Structure 1
Amino acid sequence: MSDIAWLTEGPIAHRGYHDMNKLVWENTLTAFQRAIEAGFAIECDLHYAADGVPVIFHDDDLQRVCNLPGQLRDRSSAELGLLSIGGTRDHIPTLKQLLQLCGGKVPLVLELKGRKADDEGFAESVIEVLEGYKGHVALMSFDHWLLKDLKLLNPPYPIGLTAEGTNPDTFFLHDEAMQLGLDFISYFHGHLPNPFVTAQRKRGIPVITWTARDEAARRHSFAHADQMTFEGFDPRESLALVS
């Protein structure tokens, strides 16, 4: 893997630079445009629509974000593209739409959200959409089967483990994933420091955190990792330490 110093150069906007779903909702083109204008890298979530198209959405179901019953994966990307997010003018975007909007202006950190025994072709579809894109991209997942699928495709992008946990059994599973030859880790800031992450950083593996929501979390992230994924504040501003 080529140099990935860009991954830790600046703060990463969690699901785009939204306002905690007040007016600008998570994982929308509006939130991504705000991040681009602010110069923040963008983290977002990918799901696999019924027609095999990667779409940007976090939850398995549509209730919280779209106020509708049902599973996201039961609908095509065209159907999903008609659904309002949070009652706003934004709709569920595809990965292709994000790439067209971003155009390489800021880095993208894409998390694949798996569903066990239902992800055949998911990794391939993401790599296919990314083909020819000019810009920094990193791929990551909690799901080891998706990480294996991505590694088998040998894409020209860093691949990382999204993770959390504080007990030895969990660390064993994380170590098992790292044996795939992963390039970075995204870890829950509240579970740092821990022996697994400390050992990986000593190996030279970059570590970013999720999800810092205040100044205390920012400081904790930079005490134990190399960069943070954030939401709910502007990391360019100096914030009072949260007690």
Structure 2
Amino acid sequence: MLQSGDAVVLYSVVFGLVLLGTRSPVWSCGLAISVYLFLAVFKFPQVPDSRARQVLSRGTGVASGLGRASSIAHRGGGHDAPENTIAAIRQASENGAEGVELDLEFSSDGVPILMHDDTVDRTTNGSGPLGQISFSELSKLDAAAKHRLREKFAGERIPTLEEAVEECIKLQLSIYFDVKGHPDQAAVALGDLYRKHPVLYNSSIVCSFEPKVIYRMRQTDPEVVTALTHRPWSMSRRGDGTPHFASPWKHQWMTLLDILLDWAHHHLLWKLCGISAFLIQKDFVSPDYVQYWAKRGVQVVAWTVNKDVEKQYYQEVLQVNYITDSLVEDCEPHY
């Protein structure tokens, strides 16, 4: 339910901005009421809290009150094995992960596959954008070619989404589907998978940086547990904090958009999409932040938590799930 504080902030901001722009109380009231009606008509309700907790607490003691957080292998655990591969999923299970985060992309001929980037250059021995490479060509690439343990995992191939899901089901791992884009295509592909494997309703969650992806997924199947992913300042700065743009004017403009996006995530988009979890970059998580979302029926998941001391903090103090690149040792984050 939209908290009273959220409602006051949301409608006050709409009223104030329109009043500044038009100097008309009538227009300001009209737009604020329109936003209220839009949310009332088009927002999706959250899935039942009991089922969301079942998904997010799968394999842990959180649901029974024991307060143990889940460790989720980022891209299958990209430090411990080649990211987004069957080998990574198996290695994550062996290393004690409760779940895996997997990136959904598509080949040029529309086959759903696991891949983080929109090109194959960084992780394979191939080159070029995914949108120009068929699955038959992708299946010939070595997905371990650029990995630090390339010799151990030589010849590992890019898996289809279905192959990865079937492996996760077999190993009883929860799945965080990170959808990189293609809202319509992704919703169809995931919708088909949920119908084919109903166990996913209680063992997986669909996540994305793009609210349109999550909204489209809820339209396709409102029973799917979903989450928004967010990193403050993501439009103006890279993951390591360096600016995206050399132009000071463009940097300032993107910084302003970052502020607006952050506000929208916390006061509007989460409600519109009816999310059950909020995936946030670890540097912005605190006890107060966890409580902010808990009051809204939303669980926080932190990423990417790669130091043992940080993992202990999330497990013992915050008691929230965290996504990590490695289950076995400290490492630098994979951006």
- TM-score with structure 1 setting the length: 0.84
Number of the residue aligned with 1:169: 260
Change (3 A) 1:146 1:128: same
8 Å CA contact 1:52, 1:122 repeated in 2: no
Offset at residue 111 of structure 1 (A): 0.4
Offset at residue 227 of structure 1 (A): 1.0
| Residues 1:85 and 2:153 aligned together | no
8 Å CA contact 2:119, 2:130 repeated in 1: yes
CA distance, structure 2, for counterparts of residue 234 and residue 198 of structure 1: 30
Number of the residue aligned with 1:33: 90
What code does the residue aligned with 2:261 have?
Answer: T
CA distance, structure 2, for counterparts of residue 211 and residue 159 of structure 1: 19
Offset at residue 195 of structure 1 (A): 7.2
| Residues 1:69 and 2:127 aligned together | yes
Secondary structure of the structure 2 residue equivalent to 1:66:
coil
Q: Counterparts of 1:194-213 in structure 2 under 5 Å?
A: 198-213=291-306
Offset at residue 150 of structure 1 (A): 0.6
Offset at residue 5 of structure 1 (A): 2.1
Residue deviations 1:201-227 (CA, integer Å, cap 9, x gap): 222211111111112332453445611
| Residues 1:182 and 2:269 aligned together | no
CA distance, structure 2, for counterparts of residue 30 and residue 204 of structure 1: 35
Residue deviations 1:19-63 (CA, integer Å, cap 9, x gap): x26xx2111100101223344211111112222221101111111
8 Å CA contact 1:16, 1:43 repeated in 2: yes
Gaps of 5+ in 1: none
8 Å CA contact 1:163, 1:188 repeated in 2: yes
Change (3 A) 1:79 1:225: farther
Number of the residue aligned with 1:228: 322
CA distance, structure 2, for counterparts of residue 29 and residue 70 of structure 1: 22
8 Å CA contact 2:282, 2:303 repeated in 1: yes
What code does the residue aligned with 1:65 have?
Answer: T
What code does the residue aligned with 1:76 have?
Answer: S
Secondary structure of the structure 2 residue equivalent to 1:185:
strand
**Identical-pair percentage:** 23
Change (3 A) 1:81 1:177: farther
Offset at residue 67 of structure 1 (A): 3.8
Once structures 1 and 2 are overlaid, which stretch shifts more, 156-165 or 122-131?
122-131
Instruction: Report how many aligned residue pairs link the two structures.
Output: 230
CA distance, structure 2, for counterparts of residue 4 and residue 155 of structure 1: 13
Change (3 A) 1:196 1:11: closer
CA distance, structure 1, for counterparts of residue 269 and residue 90 of structure 2: 33
Change (3 A) 1:124 1:216: same
The counterpart of 1:5, out of the listed 32, 53, 72, is: 53
8 Å CA contact 2:96, 2:327 repeated in 1: no
Number of the residue aligned with 2:195: 131
8 Å CA contact 1:52, 1:125 repeated in 2: no
Number of the residue aligned with 1:160: 227
Q: Counterparts of 1:133-152 in structure 2 under 5 Å?
A: 133=197, 134-135=199-200, 136-152=203-219
RMSD over equivalenced CA pairs, Å: 2.5
| Residues 1:122 and 2:214 aligned together | no
Residue deviations 1:105-145 (CA, integer Å, cap 9, x gap): 1111110001xxx5442221222133221241111000111
8 Å CA contact 1:28, 1:92 repeated in 2: yes
Offset at residue 78 of structure 1 (A): 2.7
Normalized per residue, which structure has more helix? Answer: 2
CA distance, structure 2, for counterparts of residue 33 and residue 46 of structure 1: 18
Higher gyration radius (CA): 2
Normalized per residue, which structure has more strand? Answer: 1
- Identify the structure with bigger relative contact order (alpha carbons < 8 Å, sequence gap 6+): 2
Gaps of 5+ in 2: 1-46, 61-69, 146-153, 234-257, 331-335
